[in-house]
Structure 1
Amino acid sequence: MEAAVVVKPAIKVAALCGSLRKGSYNRGLVRSAIDICKESIQGMDIEYVDVSPLPMINTDLEVGGRFPPPVEEFRAKISLADCILFASPEYNYSVTPPLKNAIDWASRAPNVWANKAAAIVSSGGGFGGGRAQYHLRQIGVFVDLHFINKPEFFLNAFQQPAKFDGEGNLIDPAAREKLKEVLLALQEFTLRLQGPR
């Protein structure tokens, strides 16, 4: 008699991008992460969660214990996710307004970020978005997110050879491999936090 094969449910990853620009390099990182999971990582599904429909946070919009419909939908997706992938560009040494707005909405009681594993990737000039990553880690402390420590992923988008094509798609093989390492670390850390499933 053959032993039954236990198929564990795939880890659900909510991927957020802090840039609203269509050709954003950081959104390109999210697209690449989705492709990498489909191609070579079993047991992990990434869903891109758009932050652009969210109104600017204003508690006057909370009526009768309910949030505006786009916020309710966003919070539900974060709540159902096992972990979070942030693609966080850097604006003025910090996270972008759309991303901070999304974090603040989802942290309203009940805080749907709490006790989830998370990872950050970023691309930009100079330090590749690193300062924003460090600020995002500080924010994560208060909302009870648990970030992986390593590997870190900062990508200077303007170094040669080209890292992205004209539409913002990641084309650098070494960067794609590093992105895969981040995803595998996020998967492992998420499973460790969840314990036996």
Structure 2
Amino acid sequence: MEAVVAAKPVIKVAALCGSLRKGSYNRGLIRTALEISKESINGIQMEYIDISPLPMLNTDLETDGKFSPVVEAFRQKILESDSILFASPEYNYSVTAPLKNAIDWASRPPNVWGDKAAAIISAGGGFGGARSHYHLRQIGIYLDLHFINKPEFYLNAFQPPAKFDSDGNLIDPSSKEKIKEVLLSLQAFSLRLKVKSK
């Protein structure tokens, strides 16, 4: 009698990029993560969520606890996800204004970030966006977001050899492999949190 292999539960991952620039290297990281999740990891369903349509946070835009359609649609995407992948560039030693704005909208009562697993990837100069990771982790404490601890991924985009092509697509094989490791860790942690919540 053949053993029955249980199907791995599908983890829904919402992928957010803190840069609005079309040629952003961080958006390139998201594209790579999407490709990897489709081609070489079973059990991950990832969707890129565009934060550019969100208005700047202003509670005057809320009416009787209701949000505008664009904000509500964004909040619903976060609510329906099991985990979050942030591509977080570093601006002035911290997270970007668009990303913080998106985080704040989804934290308005009821907070839709709570009890989700999360991971951060980033690319930039110097430390590759690493300082933004620590601020994002601090924000996550209040939101009850649970970040994976390892592996960390921050890539110096300007150190030779070239890591991206002229369209902002990641071309560095070792970096692609590291992103895959991040996704596998995020998947495993998401499954652990799901089991604990039952």
Check whether TM > 0.5: yes
| 1:60 equivalent in structure 2 | 60
Offset at residue 7 of structure 1 (A) = 3.4
Percent of aligned positions with the same letter in both sequences?
Answer: 73
1:131-171, Cα deviation, whole Å (9 max, x unpaired): 01111000000111000000000100001110000000000
Take 1:13 and 1:149, find their aligned partners in 2: how far apart are those partners? Answer: 17
Q: Structure 1 residues 41 and 58 mapped into 2: Cα distance closer, same or farther (>3 Å)?
A: same
Take 1:8 and 1:36, find their aligned partners in 2: how far apart are those partners? Answer: 17
| 2:138 equivalent in structure 1 | 138
| 2:148 equivalent in structure 1 | 148
Take 1:129 and 1:77, find their aligned partners in 2: how far apart are those partners? Answer: 26
Gaps of 5+ in 2: none
Offset at residue 9 of structure 1 (A) = 3.9
1:43-80, Cα deviation, whole Å (9 max, x unpaired): 00110000000000000000022101110000000000
Take 1:165 and 1:95, find their aligned partners in 2: how far apart are those partners? Answer: 25
| 1:108 equivalent in structure 2 | 108
Q: TM-score, normalised by structure 2?
A: 0.96
Offset at residue 40 of structure 1 (A) = 0.6
4+ long deviations beyond 6 Å: 1-4
Classify the secondary structure of the residue corresponding to 2:86. Answer: strand
Q: TM-score, normalised by structure 1?
A: 0.96
1:58-104, Cα deviation, whole Å (9 max, x unpaired): 00000022101110000000000000000000000000000000000
1:149-196, Cα deviation, whole Å (9 max, x unpaired): 000001000011100000000000000000000000000000001107
Offset at residue 16 of structure 1 (A) = 0.2
| 1:96 equivalent in structure 2 | 96
Offset at residue 3 of structure 1 (A) = 7.0
How many residues in Structure 1 have an aligned counterpart in Structure 2?
A: 197
| 2:43 equivalent in structure 1 | 43
| 1:166 equivalent in structure 2 | 166
Take 2:14 and 2:183, find their aligned partners in 1: how far apart are those partners? Answer: 12
Gaps of 5+ in 1: none
| 1:124 equivalent in structure 2 | 124
Classify the secondary structure of the residue corresponding to 1:35. Answer: helix
1:94-115, Cα deviation, whole Å (9 max, x unpaired): 0000000000000001100000
